[in-house]
Amino acid sequence: MRYAIISDVHANIEALTSFFESLEKHPVDKIVCLGDLVGYNANPNECIDLMREKNIPCVMGNHDSMAAGIEDLSEFNLLASDAIEWTRGVLTEENKAFLASLPDSIRVGRAFYAVHGSINDKDRYIYGAADALRNFKLLDKVKGLSICFFGHTHVPISYLGANESVRMNLDNTVKLKKGASYLINPGGLGQSRDKDPRGSYVIYDTKKSEITFLRVEYDIDATVAKIIEAGLSPRLAERLKLGW
């Protein structure tokens, strides 16, 4: 099986559309989304509609939860909370209900586990070896799985865990080793934060036991124009151009 794993679409329809187009060159059997379909950008309904149309499994991200009214905005910074307030005002009731129905995690057969942030908390980041080690211990409790895909940081990275140690890896290709566990972040499709403005995602080939990080070009200028037209913060537009 070949899986495409995406995360942090953040209402960026140009990035999402370009991702689907890229699969013509990189065909897969199934797509899984790690959450945050909305927030920051100006096409939340269009992104949700496209994901629903294609029947793509998706976990709930923290922005999804906020937009659906499940959590309050007290933990968000002003930039993020203003965008969610705007998003709440434009989302259809049907799409709000869809966001509210998303699960906190997905087990994809015997292949992998999918979450948004940490394994037990969608709002908590995995940053560095200490966070990864804590999550490897949580992954040990998910019987039969040694791979977990997570998002939330918008930064593509992989962590290998073995014998109570953690190794970080920024390579574009990861060959999976027997007896090891892996935490894999595909990066942000709709809002990159590693200084590369292109969208990021991964393909997991179970037959080859290989994970490949890929980038996708999209029309950033079109996304930026929509942000400005919608009255969202110009800082959101600027960070898309800079990839932060």
pLDDT score at 40: 98
- 38 pLDDT tier (thresholds 50, 70, 90): very high
pLDDT score at 72: 83
- Residue 224 is classified by DSSP as H
| Amino acid, res. 232 | L
pLDDT score at 58: 98
pLDDT score at 73: 87
pLDDT higher than threshold 90 for residue 17: yes
pLDDT higher than threshold 90 for residue 159: yes
pLDDT score at 240: 96
Beta strand pairing status for 2-6 and 30-33? parallel
Determine what percent of the chain is predicted with pLDDT higher than 90.
96
* Burial label, 93 (beta-carbon count in 10 A; 0-12, 13-18, 19+): exposed
Tokens read off for 9: 């679409």
Domain 2-242: assigned CATH number = 3.60.21.10
Alpha-carbon gap, residue 57 to 34, rounded angstroms: 9
Range in 23-27, 146-150, 162-166 the model is least confident about: 162-166
Tokens read off for 169: 């890896």
Spacing of C-alpha 122 from chain mean position: 11
pLDDT score at 158: 98
Say if residues 215 and 221 touch (Cβ distance below 8 Å). Answer: no
* pLDDT tens readout for residues 196-233: 999 999 999 999 999 999 999 999 999 999 999 999 99
Q: What is the mean pLDDT of the chain?
A: 97
Mean pLDDT (whole number) for 167-193: 96
pLDDT higher than threshold 90 for residue 68: yes
pLDDT score at 71: 87
Burial 125-144 (b: 16+ CB within 10 A, else e): ebeeeebbebbbeebeeeee
| pTM above threshold 0.95 | yes
> Within a 10 A sphere around the Cβ of 92, how many other Cβ atoms?
12
Tokens read off for 162: 């073995």
Closest CA to 112 of 162, 168, 57: 57
Mean pLDDT (whole number) for 4-24: 98
Domain boundaries, the chain: 2-242
pLDDT score at 163: 84
Tokens read off for 90: 């434009």
- The C-alpha torsion from 22 through 27 and 32 to 38, rounded to 10°, is 20
* pLDDT tens readout for residues 75-134: 899 999 999 999 999 999 999 999 999 999 999 999 999 999 999 999 999 999 999 999
pLDDT higher than threshold 90 for residue 141: yes
Q: List Cβ neighbours of 172 (8 Å cut-off, separation of 6 or more).
A: 212, 213
